Structure 1
Amino acid sequence: MRFHTRKWIKPQDLNPNRTLFGGRLLEWIDEECALYSIIQLENPKTVTKYMSEIDFKSSANEGDIIEIGIEVVKFGSASITLKCEVRNKMTRETIITVDKIVMVGLDENGKPKPHGKTQVEFVKDRLGDK
């Protein structure tokens, strides 16, 4: 799994128990999956279709640094399926896992748009030698 983004837990990210608010973490996961999928599918009109059950394994506290990891599970005709793990950067303790997140690329009418992708591509490889 590749860990793409780090977040620093700040006071505004906490719940009444003074630990990381789960809704904030899910917002970060959704945003990271959207950004990743937009780049992979080369379609800025990519949306979240489905997120499987989430499994909170531990929490994070103010001042902790967390990292969000994403891995491609499969490519559909108009979609990409990902899995995600968020962990504490310093302790490597898993905070949450999401086994299945389906992102779908849409056309100008809001309908699924086939993308023709079958494997992960890196932007540097698309650019060639310049």
Structure 2
Amino acid sequence: MRFHTRKWVKPEDLNPNGTLFGGRLLAWIDEEVALYSIIQLENAKIVTKHMSEINFKSSAKPGDIVEIGIDVVKFGKTSLTLTCEVRNIMTRETIISVDTITMVNLSEEGKPLPHGKTQIEYVKDRLEK
């Protein structure tokens, strides 16, 4: 799993229990997988179609640093399916895992658009072309 983004848990990210609010964490995940998909599919028009079961395994407290990891599961004709894990850097525990997140590539009209991609591409490799 490649960990791309780190987030610092601040007071505004907390639930009434004083731990990281799950909704905030899901928003961070959704944003990160959208950015990752936009870069992979080279199209800014990407939407989240589906998230599988979300499994909360531990929590994070104020001041903790969490990191979001993403891997590609498969390339579909118009979609990209990812897996995600968020872990607490301070405790080394997994906070949440999402088995599959499906992102869909869209046309200017908002319809699913074939992207023609079949494997992960890295920006450095695109620059060498």
TM-score, normalising length from structure 1? Answer: 0.97
> What's the TM-score once normalised by structure 2's chain length?
0.98
The amino acid that maps onto 1:88 is: N
> Structure 1 residue 17: deviation in Å?
0.2
The answer on 1:103 being equivalent to 2:118 is: no
User: 1:70, 1:30 → 2: CA distance?
Assistant: 11
Deviates more, 1:84-93 or 1:4-13: 84-93
Secondary structure of the equivalent of 1:18?
coil
Unaligned runs of 5+ in 1: none
Tell me the CA shift for residue 89 of structure 1.
Answer: 1.0
- Residue 119 of structure 1 corresponds to which residue in structure 2? 119
The two structures, once aligned, show a CA RMSD in angstroms of: 0.8
- Deviation, 1:32, is 0.1
AA aligned to 2:96 is I
Tell me what 1:17 maps to: 17
Structure 2: stretches of 5+ with no match in the other structure: none
- The range that moved more, 88-97 or 32-41, is 88-97
Q: 1: distance between equivalents of 2:68 and 2:60?
A: 13
The answer as to 2:58 corresponding to 1:61 is no
Instruction: Report what 2:33 is aligned to.
Output: 33
The amino acid that maps onto 2:80 is: I
Q: Which residue of 2 aligns with 1:75?
A: 75
Which residue identity lines up with residue 20 of structure 2 in the other structure? Answer: L
Identity %: 78
Corresponding residue for 1:90?
90
DSSP-derived class of the 2:26 partner? helix
Where 1:99 maps in the other structure, the secondary structure is strand
- Taking the aligned partners of 2:86 and 2:8, their CA distance within structure 1 comes to 13
- SS across alignment from 1:34: helix
**Alignment size in residue pairs:** 129
- Runs (4+) of structure 1 exceeding 4 A deviation are none
Aligned partner letter, 2:91: T
Deviation of residue 90 (structure 1)? 2.3
Task: Say which SS state the counterpart of residue 74 (structure 2) adopts.
Answer: strand
